[in-house]
Amino acid sequence: MDNYLYRDRKMMKWMPFNALLEQGDHLSELLRGRTRIDMPVLSPDQEAELNYKLEVSYLFKNEIILRYYEDGSIHEIQGVIVRTDIMNKLIFIDKYALSANQIVDIEVL
């Protein structure tokens, strides 16, 4: 027994469990799909109000909380609008660049 040398099968011994990992990925994707929401559709009045808040916040350098839609959920950014790119419809808040089409709500602080 002194000259016995253990030879590990490395990853081969874990191959049967690989199917379970893929199944786990699929289940997590399904669960993520259940919590996914559609992008809210804004009325023309809401769009006009957002434009007004954007203009006022940019001119007076007010701090805002900007809510935007991305990847099936709504996210928030707090900060000051640094600059805007009218041609590409981008709004720069601190170090973030957001498309104006993603904006759902603006709260002026």
Per-residue pLDDT reduced to its tens digit, 31-76: 777 778 888 999 999 999 999 999 999 999 999 999 999 988 999 9
**pLDDT grade, residue 78 (50/70/90)?**
very high
**Domain residue ranges of the chain, discontinuous segments joined by +:** 44-108
User: pLDDT value at position 79?
Assistant: 93
- Residue with token string 């809401």: 46
In the sheet with 103-108, reading across from the earlier edge strand, the strands are 96-99, 90-93, 73-85, 63-70, 103-108
Q: What's the whole-model pTM score?
A: 0.69
CATH of range 44-108; options 3.30.310.10, 3.30.428.10, 3.40.50.720, 2.30.30.520: 2.30.30.520
What 3-state DSSP class applies to 82?
strand
The b/e string for 11-48 (b: 16+ C-beta within 10 A; e otherwise) is eeeeeeeeeeeeeeeeeeeeeeeeeeeeeeeeeeeeee
